[in-house]
Amino acid sequence: MLSRLHWDVVDIPAKTDFLKEGDRPNRCCLLIDGLIIRSNFTQGGERQIQSVHIPGDMPDLQSLHLKQMDHYIGTVSPCRVAFISHDAILRTLERSKDLTARFWRETLIDAALYRAIIVRNARLGSTERLAHFICEMWCRFDAVGLTDASGFPFAMTQEMVGQVLGLSIVSVNRSMQLLRAEGLVVWDRGRIDILDWDRLAGLGQFDPTFLHLDD
């Protein structure tokens, strides 16, 4: 149903915040290609990345009902993004209970992701956090067909991953070296390869239930 509506497809350069705190958007976006992050900044300018979005995600659905942005949405890599007006979505939702339920389900999964993030960043050590995050990314990329036999493309820098996990770049680098030394992961040239899923998931206490991929 949504595919029959008018979408504006735009190419956005890497490292561009195209929605900012305080904005009042009149459209939502669908990520077609690339990697997008949702984040906030401290008064000192330090970024906390709250979520990472992959192709197929609509990271700003909340703007349908929360009219003023309370965070930033920006690109990590060059992205292709399709925009659709709020009015078009709302008219379609009025005619489709099924689509309304699907959008509501997406917001519930978004909340589940945040619950997992709180536990991961508050209760796990630095290496365990990184292991958990890599497992999450693998599962999500795999669900949309963006993995191969052992890995997936991953455009985020170690600094950005630190902003996801609440860690310094030094801690991320040290944790990655430990994972590599244990024969669990190789992260090189914009790609992550998982060498031993069971041990990596065990280390990160990773349970994919919160992603609800099998529902």
Separation CA 47–CA 163 (nearest Å):
6
92-144 pLDDT, tens per residue?
999 999 999 999 999 999 999 999 999 999 999 999 999 999 999 999 999 99
Instruction: Classify strands 72-75 and 47-53 as parallel, antiparallel or unpaired.
Output: unpaired
For residues 58-79, give the mean pLDDT: 95
For residues 204-208, give the mean pLDDT: 98
Global pTM value: 0.95
Instruction: Find the distance separating the first CA and the last CA of the chain, reported in whole Å.
Output: 21
pLDDT of res. 155: 96
14-38 pLDDT, tens per residue?
999 999 999 999 999 999 999 999 9
178 neighbors 127 (Cβ within 8 angstroms): yes
Kind and range of the H or E element at 185? Answer: strand 185-187
| pLDDT confidence tier of residue 1, bands split at 50, 70 and 90 | low
Backbone phi and psi for residue 199, each to the nearest 5 degrees, phi listed first: -70, -35
